[in-house]
Structure 1
Amino acid sequence: MRRLTLRARLALLVLASVLPLVGYNLVGGYAAYRVDRDHAAREALDLARSLARSVESELRARIAVLEVLALSRTLAAGDLAGFRTEAEAVVARQTPGANILLLREDGQQLMNTIVPPGVPLPARQYLDNQRRVFATGGALVSNVFVGMVQQRPLLGVDVPVRRADGSVGLILALNPTLDAFEPLLRRDRASSGWILSIFDRVGARVARVPDGARLVGTPVDAALLRAWGTGDAEGSLETAAAEGRPFLTAFSRVPGIGWGVAVAIPLAELTRPAVRSAVTSLAVGLAFLVLGLGLAHLVARGISRPILALVGLAASADEGHAGGAAVPALGLPEADRLADALLAEARRRRAALAALVEGERRLRLVVAELNHRAKNALATVQALALQTARVEGADPTRFTESFTARLRTLGRAHDLLARLAWEGAAPGAVVRTGLAPWLEADGGAPGTRILLCEACDDPLPLVAPGQAQALVMALHELATNAAKYGALSRPDGLVEIACGADPAGHAVVITWRERGGPPLTGPPARRGFGTRLLERGLVHDLGADAEVALAFEPTGLRASIRFRPQPIQAPATSSGSRSEVNAASL
């Protein structure tokens, strides 16, 4: 995608806009085709049910005619000539073109209205139907078979002729013409392309519209025959029919007879509208695509020219329009604004270059300041080492522990100020930083051995970096002394710390009070490192008007630190030199 030209990208945009619409129309057309197909299947099935009921009525009417004729008195009296006259009258009135037969159980014909009297009659070869009539005693319609006399496909409607005792003695059969069923099919045929068929229990065609005369007696399509063999009363499926074309076929069984009726709809009638809709959709989509690509080409030409002009403008030297000369209109408002932006950016680059030169000068000053801070930090560490060695004497273990603890405290103070960008710290944060090892021992929060008053979290004036570092070191020394000799050296000892402002609101007061430690009889005889740090170095670092008071009361040490927060200044101040003086004064 990165190497595609603007014209190619616009062409892709047109394709992305048109093709989904074409696809949506095609999917919609297919969905409409499925709906039409389902509707046609239901319509064909309804027609098949209706035809099945009509076929049943037609066959029931013929069975009723035969059953009435079987009760003839002339037949019961054995008068075959008189009975023949009655049978021929029935054929002439109700079933023209058919013939009526009288048969014995072995199939021998005793009478056949289609054969003149006195002519020898053959025996019926198709005996399955009449055997079931003798076995069941009920009327039955046969499958299609080839007649011995007429030598053409026939079907038999057989009814029993009973003796006086009620047993079946003879068979009275009717062979209607198969074309007698075609009027039923033609009457309900909805379209000239539809195929309507009646078939027997084994799938042989009894009647068919169209081409009934040619296909009577032939089996139906194999797919329909397989579905018919499953015993389903009705259903629908795709078949090929005799023409070899695909059809949507619905079938239904004739109740009580066992025959079937099939209605086949050419799939072309269903697919033709869907194909026409799809072709129309594709043609319209192609037309829109060609139109869109043409418009994209014109738009690409209108955009590429200003872009090439902008490329030339960007590649030219900044001094080409340094004087603010107007750029000729590029023919595209966005390109004109971009040209103005390029010129403005060129001016900003020149200003940035000047600022970079100035920044480099200031960076040299900052590097010098950092070098100065590093020297101050080393001086402070050196002073801490000397003072610790002076207090702890020649014991290397005690020196290592004390010096390491003070270095860590100094590091915590630097971390606090670095997080705050050396812009000052809240008194509460300073107190927590100085007492961090003891607060962590109490579970990470004050309240067990060291109690901080709520005022320590109140908004108070920020403490300058130099003051914060000195306070952290001083609080560390107070806590160390309390852990060795004061309240924290005993399990029940407590330290209470309060922060607040003086009544005038100009100074910050931090109060340290120990309770529960060893009783004090007065100031210690020996002034250690912590005492000198509080009384001499802290007062100096906190600035003018700072006061540090230590009271060695019998209940424990009480210290009060009062100072005025100094104005927050940049790191390049005299705080480093004050630390040197502080270290030298210990």
Structure 2
Amino acid sequence: MTDAAGSGRAEATPGQADLPPRPRDAAWTLARAARLPLRGRMALLVLAGTLPLLAFNLGSIHADFRHERDRAGRQALELARGLALAVEGELRTRMASLEVLALSRAARRGDLADLRAMAEAVVAQHATDATILLLSEDGQQWLNTDLPADAPLPVRGTLDNQRRVFATGQASVSDLYGGSVPGRLVVAIDVPVRDAAGRVRAVLAMNPSLATFDEVLRRQHQGNGWIITLLDRGGRRIARAPENDSLRGAPMPRDFMPAWAMGGDGIVTTTTPKGEALLAAHARLPGAGWGVVVAVPMAELTRPAWRSALTSTGVGLALLLVGLGVAHRVSLSVTRPIAALRRLAAAPDSDQGKLARATGLAETDEVAAALREEARRRIDATAGLKDSERRLRLVVAELNHRAKNALATVQALALQTARGEAGSDPARFASEFGARLQTLSRAHDLLTAMSWEPAALSDVVRAGLAPWLEPPDPRLSFHCACSPVPPPASPGQAQAIVLALHELATNAVKHGALSRPGGRVAVTCWAEEGGAVGIITWQESGGPPVPGPPARRGFGTRLLERALAKDLGPGSQVTLDFEPEGVRATMRFLPRRNAAAAEAMAAAC
């Protein structure tokens, strides 16, 4: 038995000695490849050199696509947030007009005739087909500016928003609902009307035209295939750009609603009613609970990536065939260039320039150049990403600061207007406050167009004098010097200058040169000290004689004499002279330089 066992250990399986050794590592595979003919080895080298590069290029294209998708999502989200603020501003403007009406004596006493006249004046001021209603707690209409005064008035069909006002005593914006006219969709802005004891006894409502919101979205739509939609709290479409009346009132797709129900801002993937994929960024309005959705068709993002991938694949395959065709002719001169190319591919990006430029073979030189170019792009991309992150943080911080500053400015405008002579006259208050809000809006539009970077001084002056320059008033002339180029104004300075010019022009229309046919106003801007100091002058002539400084300082005078110099920053100076022949104002400021705005100003000159 022992001999049999030993014999078993010593014997080998028949034919085992003829089998090759087992492949235990990559060295065996390389040894087998070394047995191939030279042409086969060159073919393997060509495949090994080309296919990884092709895969790397396709991976880069995919990474670029993802980066472009993320960038488009961020842009869409920024646009959605900006539009949310714009729509909120539209609602707040109308809500302020209603609150002024609700505080009037006619509303408190229930004088429907006087209240109707004031309401019609507010509707005419907004220049829209909005409707103002006065309703009781049960929804019965007491006043409707769309119907004659003696016409029978219906009962409001939807009372959810009205009940919210009675319950909270606060103004509220409704969701989209069906109006009293069959087939007509409306939204309502409801504010409480209180009696002498402070109890809510009625609701003053406005049904703004939905076309107003269409226009707000249309102004920001760039015709690039993006879809902008305004939604109510329930996710129903209020307005859309490009316009599609058949979708008004329709809910958003089901796959979008969970993200919408969670509230807040975000970016999700959804589909159109036709099943097309969309990248949708949504942002909520701060007060109304509505939201704005900016949707980017995924086809707009994937089409360039597919085109680049197909082109890259075609080019890679073509190079592969060329390499296989010439491989047998250059077999003796390939090994060294391939080794050099391998060293180049394995080197870190920072060491690419230290290696030899020429490998000894034109094809590998091209691949090496591509590797170096790709390394340079990676280095540039890394630097660009860091710069983009810095700029994004700066833009977010600037947007937050500007939003707070805009709200504070609106509050100050309302308070100062109410404290002046217009405070006792609701119609005059609404007119003056609305004009100042529109001026602030023009300043905001200008700064938005400049991405909150410093703006050219000529554009700032035109924004402040837009009502008198478009269409032009022959009595008002404006000239901005081109040599040296006036320096640009920072966002805070631009807003202050626009408000100051509006107040000067308004005062000239009421009391100064523009109150007479023969009056003249000359506005000039130029630069001193080689473009380091910006100067704007306002000179009136031909108007009523100016007896001297006014005994009572109004809002405009206080703005020019106290607030403007502070807003223009250190080193700035504002002078206001009440000369007998006309008011003269001079504004000097030291802005912060911005190359893009300075180049734009130079190009305009």
TM-score in terms of structure 2 length: 0.48
TM-score in terms of structure 1 length: 0.49
**Structure exhibiting the larger radius of gyration computed from Cα positions:** 1
